[in-house]
């Protein structure tokens, strides 16, 4: 079961406080795509198959997030990022082929995510591209697993590499991808709110959803306040997390702006050239163990 545990006051800086979140500063909150435009492109188009809508967006999300990570991958090293972490000192663990939780460095974790996703979307039995092929009955569940893993990558980019994104002037693109990813997932309930809450403060800052409220109806304290560390292990459930319900209130989706995408054929926007390591299992935010194809 995913668990939250407090670290000693000496960890995570003085008093256990997390460093200020650079991505919440007003000077770097701009998006390359207006949020209003994303909201105008919310619903599933009339006459379009729901699974096709999920598939095309999942491929675009994978492509864009993979491309953005590639721009800062040289800074994400085994020594510089020995743990796969996100905001709030959240740590993501991986399940090995025996179902044992293991801690891996961020570049290895992200390599596992990208490898699993690419192998999945390239499998015609799971992500069909031919007209006569049908989507499997479990397709939505598979999309949820992929989106959960991609959220971990986004969380790490914001937590550990946002400064490099700003220096490369790519933070606007990152925000736009996050905004669309958040709105799309909220519209179709594709990510567990307990997992989405890790970047809830950013979603509020970008105007994607209303701020959390206290029991008395007043706005909650700033989301930049320090929080205890948490460990997210792939498991059958998760503990209650304050703000999770508000993560679900972000309204709906829009198609991804494809200005960053390379030329592709058919529906697929999967970048080529990713060499797959020997990975037998992948874990998801829902906690199930997914055999690699």
Is 156 marked as a binding-site residue? yes
Domain around 246: 31-291
Domain presence at residue 26: no
Length in residues, the chain: 293
Domain presence at residue 279: yes
Whether pLDDT at 257 is above 80: no
Share of the chain above pLDDT 90, in %: 51
The structural domain count of the chain equals: 1
Q: Residue 269 is part of a domain; what is its CATH number?
A: 1.20.140.30
* pLDDT at residue 212 in the model: 67
Domain presence at residue 216: yes
Whether pLDDT at 210 is above 50: yes
In this prediction, residues 216-243 reach a mean pLDDT of: 42
Domain presence at residue 218: yes
Structural tokens at position 289: 């163990």
In this prediction, residues 106-130 reach a mean pLDDT of: 95
Distances from the Cα of 270 to the Cα of 39, 93, 134, angstroms: 25, 25, 20
Identify the band that residue 127 occupies on the pLDDT scale cut at 50, 70 and 90: very high
Domain presence at residue 151: yes
Q: DSSP string spanning 149-184?
A: HHHHHHHHHHHHSHHHHHHTT-HHHHHHHHHHHHHH
| 206 or 291: which leads in pLDDT | 206
Is 209 marked as a binding-site residue? no
Domain presence at residue 88: yes
Q: Which residues of 245-277 are buried (b: 16+ CB within 10 A; e: fewer)?
A: ebbbebebbbebbeebeeeeeeebbbbeeeeee
Whether pLDDT at 1 is above 60: no
* pLDDT at residue 231 in the model: 62
Domain presence at residue 146: yes
- Give the predicted TM-score (pTM) of the model: 0.72
Is 81 marked as a binding-site residue? yes
**H or E element in which residue 290 lies:** strand 289-291
Q: Name residue 87's beta-bridge partners.
A: none
Domain presence at residue 10: no
Structural tokens at position 291: 């055999």
Is 159 marked as a binding-site residue? no
Share of the chain above pLDDT 70, in %: 65
Q: Among 24-28, 105-109, 117-121, 156-160, which stretch is predicted with the lowest mean pLDDT?
A: 24-28
In this prediction, residues 275-286 reach a mean pLDDT of: 34
């Amino acid at each position: 079961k995913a668990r939250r545990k407090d670290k000693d006051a000496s960890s995570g800086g003085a008093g256990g406080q997390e460093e200020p979140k650079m991505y919440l500063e007003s000077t770097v909150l701009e998006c390359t795509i207006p949020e209003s435009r994303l909201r105008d492109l919310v619903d599933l188009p009339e006459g379009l198959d729901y699974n096709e809508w999920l598939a095309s967006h999942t491929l675009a999300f994978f492509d864009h997030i993979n491309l953005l990570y590639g721009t800062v991958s040289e800074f994400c090293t085994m020594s510089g990022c020995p743990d796969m972490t996100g905001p709030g000192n959240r740590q993501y663990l991986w399940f090995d082929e025996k179902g044992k939780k293991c801690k891996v460095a961020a570049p290895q974790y992200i390599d596992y995510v990208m490898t699993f996703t690419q192998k999945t979307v390239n499998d015609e039995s799971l992500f069909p591209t031919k007209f006569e092929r049908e989507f499997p009955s479990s397709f939505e569940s598979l999309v949820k697993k992929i989106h959960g893993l991609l959220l971990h990558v986004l969380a790490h980019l914001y937590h550990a590499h946002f400064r490099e994104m700003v220096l490369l002037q790519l933070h606007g693109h990152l925000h736009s991808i996050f905004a669309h990813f958040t709105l799309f997932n909220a519209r179709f309930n594709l990510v567990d709110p307990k997992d989405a809450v890790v970047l809830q403060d950013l979603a509020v800052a970008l105007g994607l959803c209303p701020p959390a409220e206290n029991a008395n109806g007043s706005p909650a304290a700033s989301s930049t306040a320090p929080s205890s560390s948490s460990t997210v292990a792939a498991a059958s459930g998760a503990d209650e997390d304050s703000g999770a319900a508000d993560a679900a209130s972000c309204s709906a989706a829009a198609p991804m702006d494809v200005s960053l995408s390379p030329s592709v054929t058919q529906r697929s926007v999967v970048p080529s050239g990713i060499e797959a390591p020997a990975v037998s299992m992948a874990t998801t935010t829902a906690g199930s163990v997914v055999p690699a194809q």
